[in-house]
Amino acid sequence: MVRVATVERDLCNPRKCQLECVRFCPINRTGKKAIEVPQDLGKAVIYEEVCVGCGICVKKCPFHAITVVNLPDELEKYVVHRYGPNAFKLYGLPVPQEGRVVGVIGRNGIGKTTALRILAGEMVPNLGDLGSEPSWDEVIKFFKGSELHNYFHRLANGRIRVVHKIQHVDAVRVYVKGYVGEVLKRIDERGILGELKKALDIEPLLDKRVPTLSGGELQKVTVAAALLRAADVYMFDEPASYLDVRERLRVSRAIRRYVPSGAYAIVVEHDLTVVDYIADLVSIVYGEPGVYGVYSKLYSVGSGVNHFLGGYLPAENMRIRSEPVVFNMRPEQRAIEVEQRQVYLVWPEMSKSLDGFTLSIDQGEIRVGEVVGIVGPNGIGKTTFARLIVGEIEPDSGYVPFRGLRISYKPQYIKGEEYPWEYVGEALESITKEGIASSEWFADEVVRKFKLHKLKEKRIGELSGGELQKFSIAVALARDAELYVLDEPSAFLDVDERLAVARAVRKIIEGRRAACLVVDHDLMLIDYISDRLIVFSGEPGVRGRSFGPVDVRRGMNSLLRELEVTFRRDVRTGRPRINKPDSYLDRYLKSVGEYYYTKPMEEGER
């Protein structure tokens, strides 16, 4: 076995723990050094060649900063990069395929962005050797006999050009100035700006200055900028972030259509319906976030996503999930069960005008133990509806009948400074004192699954986007409430974290016999978590109207009919999958007006 030991530098604090990891190490007691804290470093260092992997230091560390993992010896020959002693270790890379789109799926902090940077030539991997300067000659030699050998040979010699759409598009505001139209016209090397303006619906943005763009607008502009370049390799890191359902499909279509037929393309994405639509092949990266990541062989996209959800990779003979994720194969039965439940809360017709936008709300109700999903484009009134329900704003007509009701609200935009605690640990201690939050289940399925126990020493105001999102969801679910309202809980979260949120919500709502409204753009999450749907339609930024709650089948049909997209059910997992435009099944479902549910179809028609 090969031993991978990591020490998270941000968490390790020897002054507060009195070096318990060093004092209790059985190898240290024999006179050898398996772990120590050098004075010049001030952090623990584990010597992997001496460590026996007993795990005592892991258990003794009060800050959960230490991880020791035993991996098969044969895996060591696939080490591509390590960031430093006791730092993250990457095994393997996704293999680009000429003329095909390769999707990459996996958890946050597991090496997806690192792999893209290596394949883009932005960093030279050290092959796990921390003692010498990495070189492309060594990399080319390392991959000799594999498909990556020719790729890296061409990359190192400047014979292929790479365009990389980065993950954090917010950085574009800092480095790119000027008007959108001028910037895109300047980089239009392929002469397709006229087509892309329509395909991505960015014509209204051309007269805006880049620093003034919203996150979703920046996303579309950066995707357009990548596609306008003449390149041999196109890389898109999370192209669906900040976008609603309509825009995600629009960006997906553009990538499929405008990446040149003979080019390499790699897409990293957490929305599995987007991956399913864009990619031809998929590589799954598994392991332990922040510790190590391993890239699987390439699978067909349908099989690969199913293997990822099922938790077993047959080519590697590796189990990556303790239990499979299975979707409801009988949505009609779920609708019947919901109708038999007691009505919990009712709201009347309402309307609200806000900054030139007019919203009309239909009368609706939510039942005991029910989760109602809320879907629709951005700027159509979903967040306004949530704010009306929780009492943040008052309707112009109608009324909100929930005065005095205990409501727990997780808003769309979160600020760490708004919480009454300074540190995460202080908050966890406060929220887990009573109720379901004090249970062992909450500690395992929420605190540990969200990895909040590792953030105890962090200030809430210094949390990253994903960390703050998980923290805010945990705080919202810990409250003893009768109605929970979660606005975009999937933002910044990976697939496993989204599924953990879905499971936690369902468990708490059913256990407390409460109710929940969930606003989100991830259709797979909405399908997984929802009993019924409220669908918003209209003209974004001008007017919006709600429809429902109705059963999931009817609600999704209403939404997807406007988008002119059809979905089918996967035969193995029951997950929703987008049909390719103008495929036989796509044309058939449109002809019968069935845009969402049908019998699960066998592989081969996508």
Please name the residues in contact with 82: beta carbons below 8 A apart, sequence gap of 6 or more. 88, 89, 90, 126, 128, 130
Q: What is the pTM of this model?
A: 0.88
The DSSP H or E segment spanning 195 is helix 193-199
pLDDT of 156 reads 94
**Percent of the chain topping pLDDT 90:** 63
Q: Which H, E and C letters describe 246-292, residue by residue? A: HHHHHHHHHHHHHCCCCCEEEEECCCHHHHHHHCCEEEEEEEECCCE
- The residue behind tokens 């792999």 is 115
SS3 category, 320: coil
pLDDT band at residue 603 using 50, 70 and 90 as cut-offs = very low
**Could you count the other beta carbons within 10 Å of the beta carbon of residue 521?**
24
Query: For 469, how many CA atoms within 13 A lie in the half-sphere containing its CB?
Result: 18
CB-count burial class (<10 Å; 0-12, 13-18, 19+) for 342? exposed
d(CA 172, CA 215) in angstroms, rounded, equals 10
What's the token pair of residue 334?
Answer: 């779920």
Question: Taking a C-beta distance cutoff of 8 angstroms, is the pair 450, 494 a contact?
Answer: no
Chain segment 75-89, per-residue pLDDT in tens: 888 999 999 889 999
Q: Please check whether residue 593 is in contact with residue 560, taking contact to mean a CB–CB distance below 8 angstroms.
A: no
* Number of continuous H segments (helices) and E segments (strands) in the chain: 22, 26
The per-residue pLDDT for 245 is 86
pLDDT attached to residue 579: 87
CA distance 438 to 497: 21
CA angle 17, 20, 21 (to 5 degrees): 115
- Burial category of 444 from C-beta neighbours within 10 Å (exposed 0-12, middle 13-18, buried 19 and up): exposed
Q: Are strands 66-71 and 45-46 parallel, antiparallel or unpaired?
A: unpaired
Highest mean pLDDT among 6-20, 183-197, 330-344: 183-197
CA distances from 340 to 330, 332, 348, 548 (A): 16, 13, 21, 17
pLDDT tops 80 at residue 273: yes
Residue pair 304/295 in contact by the 8 Å Cβ criterion: no
User: What is the DSSP code (8-state) at residue 10?
Assistant: T
Asked, colleague to colleague, whether 76-311 and 331-551 share their fold, the answer is yes
Domain definitions of the chain by residue range: 2-71, 76-311, 331-551, 564-606
Question: What's the CATH code, domain 331-551?
Answer: 3.40.50.300
- Give the model confidence (pLDDT) of 281-311 as tens digits: 999 999 999 999 999 999 999 999 999 999 9
Q: Give the pLDDT score at 602.
A: 46
Q: What is the pLDDT of residue 440?
A: 85
Listing DSSP states for 327-353 in one string gives --S-HHHHHHHHHTSPEEEEE--EEEE
Name the class of domain 76-311. Answer: alpha beta
CATH topology (fold) of 2-71: Alpha-Beta Plaits (3.30.70)
pLDDT over threshold 60, residue 600: no
Give the residue among 216, 544, 546, 547 at the shortest CA–CA distance from 354.
544
pLDDT recorded at residue 288: 92
Mean pLDDT of 435-460: 86
Tell me the pLDDT of the chain averaged across its residues.
Answer: 90
The pLDDT assigned to 460 comes to 93
Q: What is the pLDDT of residue 605?
A: 42
DSSP per position, 34-58: SEE--TTT-S-EE-TTT-----HHH
What confidence tens digit (pLDDT) does each residue in 328-353 have? 655 566 666 777 788 888 999 999 99
pLDDT digits (tens, 9 = 90+) for 518-553: 999 999 899 889 999 999 999 988 999 999 899 888
